[in-house]
Structure 1
Amino acid sequence: EEGAAIACGTGTAYQALKRLAISGLDTLAVFGQGPVGLSATFYGAVMGARVIAVDPVPERRELAAKLGAAETIDPTSADSIEAVRELTGGVGADASLDATGIDEVRQNTVRSTRIWGRACFVGEGGTVSLAPTPDVIHRQLTLHGSWTFSTHTLKELANFTVNRGLPLSDLITHRFALADAKEAFELFDTATTGKPVFVWD
């Protein structure tokens, strides 16, 4: 089960965290707490960062806290940019990651990052509307795109997880037999779960 997560979703998040060079010196804001975002929250916390998890779904915010988020933000009840700044003494996050692919959330990801900070787009699809000069250039931001990972990184992540005895199984919230695929995908479409997996007896 953990191997399934590493091979699809978790590895994507890990590669993005490597692009961002996350360390214990960082406050990391993760926008979107689906399986990729939750993985970024989990491994970001393991790497020592103080993680702020942003998601409108209560179940996913609760899971993010269980996986290591120091704080969670509900963007439906607070301005996420201002909330991140408030939690960082008005400065903004050292690094931020978008796992949604939604225009407004991508904007918030960039704008909640501090001057000289780093941001990474992981969520696919959609577009983004940014003003390059005030949003990126004058704030000296480094903006990354991160898509997938190499077989070397896959092995590195597996070793990183096993050697530290990390409870990656906590990310997996639902297990289904292949015969229950319709039910599994209907549940996943609700966007309230962690990582669902199919299991073979």
Structure 2
Amino acid sequence: MRGVVFTGNRTLEVTSFDDPEPGPGQAVIRMKASGMCGSDLHFYRAENPLDFLVQQGLITLGAGGMDASSRIIAGHEPCGVIEAVGPGVDPARFRPGDRVIVFHYEGCGTCDHCRTGWTQMCEEGTRPHGAVKHGGHADYMLVPASTLVKLPEQMSFVAGAAVACGTGTAYGAILRLNLSARDTLAVFGLGPVGLSAVQLAAAMGVEVIGVDIDPGRVAAAKAFGAAHAINGKTHDPVEEIHRLTRGKGASCAMDCAGGNVAKQQAVRATATWGRIALVAVGGNLDVVGWNDMIARQRTVVGSWTFSITGMKECAWFIADHGVEVDKVFSDRWTLDQAAQAYTSFDKQAGGKGVFVFD
């Protein structure tokens, strides 16, 4: 089979691997869609992707078969069809031909976090696909059957790939905010995660205000369901959000941009008793003072992707409400176009890319 391997300094190879065979409790997935995530660019841009993993504390060389020659298939937004299952997989739950989304983390399976579906917080250390374990930019993928969620028939494989990370991450943050139609939500950063948050919240009946410094993304927010869209380069988002909310501020905000400014604006754009979810990696709240937090009774929560049960809930919310999450992907590629696809994605001038398979 073919698989995409990042080789350092913005280069990659489409490499041949042996076709996987399922062991006990495992399943082989024939890939139908594999999304490209902004976090993939960290590995793509790194001088040495393996060294980057070590520096980030994701792996220890010599552990789990990892060494300097390890070549890991990229991609952690996988969706496809079960090709085969190994011994011990209950056919009442999963069988060949089932359409599935892959939850892209593996853990010990027995700690409290793993048992409650939060494998990325495993006490023994999580093993994410596309970084430590082989990912979805390949013809086939070998995974524990416990990482699978059935894809609703109403959804395309491309939509399933969106849910596998970016859109699922937006839904996870919405759950952390306990969002309802009574709320007003300000979304800072209108990349794939931010636009997914706009789309999902709008489907819940929430009044959404989108904020970005890129005019194209600001325009896209309206198409994704935002009631208002603000260009943060030409207008002060905090002032504009207070103006739009009769001086009160939004009841909720979400930082999907990263960086100090977006996080601080997300806090200050909310009303008294406001709730803020920090989703994007990067940036600090070091200049947000006590009067911004304590005196306003604001609550800030961190939101790191989603649980496997949250992924399932997200998929069914999309299916039940007819949310067109396929629109998150602006570019579709074949695996043989991987070099061109990542060169384009690396510019971060457009939207999100996805590999599609016959």
Q: Same fold (TM over 0.5)?
A: yes
Whole-Å Cα distance in 1 between the matches of residues 211 and 282 of structure 2? 19
Instruction: Confirm whether residue 51 of structure 1 aligns to residue 208 of structure 2.
Output: yes
1:85: which partner in 2? 242
Shift, 1:193, TM fit: 2.7
Q: Please, which runs of 5 or more residues in structure 1 have no aligned partner? A: none
1:102: which partner in 2? 259
Instruction: Confirm whether residue 18 of structure 1 aligns to residue 148 of structure 2.
Output: no
Aligned AA (1:164):
H
- Structure 2 counterpart of 1:138, from 265, 270, 295: 295
Q: Please, which runs of 5 or more residues in structure 2 have no aligned partner? A: 1-157
Shift, 1:101, TM fit: 1.4
Whole-Å Cα distance in 2 between the matches of residues 149 and 110 of structure 1? 22
Where do residues 173-192 of structure 1 align in structure 2 (5 Å cutoff)?
173-192=330-349
Instruction: Confirm whether residue 119 of structure 1 aligns to residue 276 of structure 2.
Output: yes
2:307: which partner in 1? 150
Shift, 1:127, TM fit: 2.6
Shift, 1:83, TM fit: 0.9
Whole-Å Cα distance in 2 between the matches of residues 67 and 131 of structure 1? 31
- Structure 1 counterpart of 2:187, from 30, 51, 61: 30
Runs of 4 or more off by more than 6 Å in structure 1?
none
Aligned residues: 201
Aligned AA (1:139):
R
> Once the two structures are aligned, what percentage of the paired residues are identical?
45
- Structure 1 counterpart of 2:324, from 167, 170, 173: 167
Aligned AA (2:242):
R
Whole-Å Cα distance in 2 between the matches of residues 65 and 191 of structure 1? 20
Aligned AA (1:141):
R
Shift, 1:174, TM fit: 1.0
Structure with the higher fraction of residues in helix conformation? 1
Shift, 1:43, TM fit: 0.5
Q: Which structure carries more relative contact order (alpha carbon 8 Å, separation 6+)? A: 1
Aligned AA (2:225):
G
Shift, 1:131, TM fit: 3.1
> Considering only CA atoms, is the larger Rg found in Structure 1 or Structure 2?
2
Secondary structure of the residue aligned to 2:199 is helix
Q: CA RMSD in A?
A: 1.3
Shift, 1:185, TM fit: 2.3
Structure with the higher fraction of residues in strand conformation? 2
Whole-Å Cα distance in 1 between the matches of residues 196 and 281 of structure 2? 16
